[in-house]
Amino acid sequence: MPTVEFKGKTFNVDEDGFIDDFNGWSREWVDYVKESEGISELTEEHWKVIDILQDYYKKNGIAPMVRILSKVTGFKLKYIYELFPSGPGKGACKMAGLPKPTGCV
């Protein structure tokens, strides 16, 4: 598994650019990944989504369904795509350090 070094931190990532360990996440990771996810500057709203994803994952061990993410953040799906152009799975979950989405994708 390739490693990435950024601002003194090291991350193990897979081919899709997801980190292999949620506990290895840090704010530097978000900084490192944002450009490849089509985001120039992170706003409070980006962080709100990331924080909520992380809280939900810590509590439930899975990522929330899209519907729940919308409900909790108050952001419509359309707005989530405005924040994260590759969507809640590839974009937001990757930045939040959650495991890669699986199933019939």
Partner 1 sequence: MKHKTPLLDQLESGPWPSFVSDIKREAESRTKNAKGVDYQIPVDVCDDILGVLELTYVHKRTHWKHGGIVGVFGYGGGVIGRYCDQPEMFPGVAHFHTMRVNQPGGKYYSTEYLEKICDLWERRGSGITNMHGSTGDIILLGTHTPQLEEIFYELTHDIGQDLGGSGSNLRTPSDCLGKSRCEYACYDTQALCFDLTNEYQDYLHRPAFPYKFKFKFDGCPNCCVASIARADMSFIGTWKDDIRIDQKAVAAYVGGEIKPNAGAHSGRDWGAFDIQKEVIGLCPTGCMAWDGKKLTIDNPECTRCMHCINVMPRALKIGKETGISILVGAKAPILDGAQMGSLLIPFISAEPPYTEIKELIEKIWDYWMEEGKNRERLGELIKRKGFQKLLEATELEPVAQMVKEPRTNPYIFWKEDEVEGGFTRDIQEYRKYHLR
Residue numbers of the site for partner 1 (CB under 8 A)? 15-16, 18, 38, 62, 65-67, 77-78, 81, 85-90, 94, 100-105
Residue carrying the six token digits 């590839």: 90
CA distance 38 to 84: 7
Nearer to partner 1, 8 or 40 (CB): 40
Amino acid at 2: P
Q: Closest separation between CB of residue 2 and partner 1, Å?
A: 12
- Give least dist CB 10 to partner 1, A: 22
**Catalytic residue status for 93:** no
Cβ proximity to partner 1, 55 vs 85, nearer residue: 85
Distance in Å, CB of 11 to partner 1, minimum: 16
CA-CA distance, 1 to 89, in Å (whole number)? 21
CA distance 104 to 100: 13
Task: Return the number of the residue (8 or 43) whose C-beta is nearest partner 1.
Answer: 43
What is residue 5's DSSP assignment? E
Question: Where do we find the tokens 């969507």?
Answer: 87
Q: Which are the catalytic amino acids? A: 104
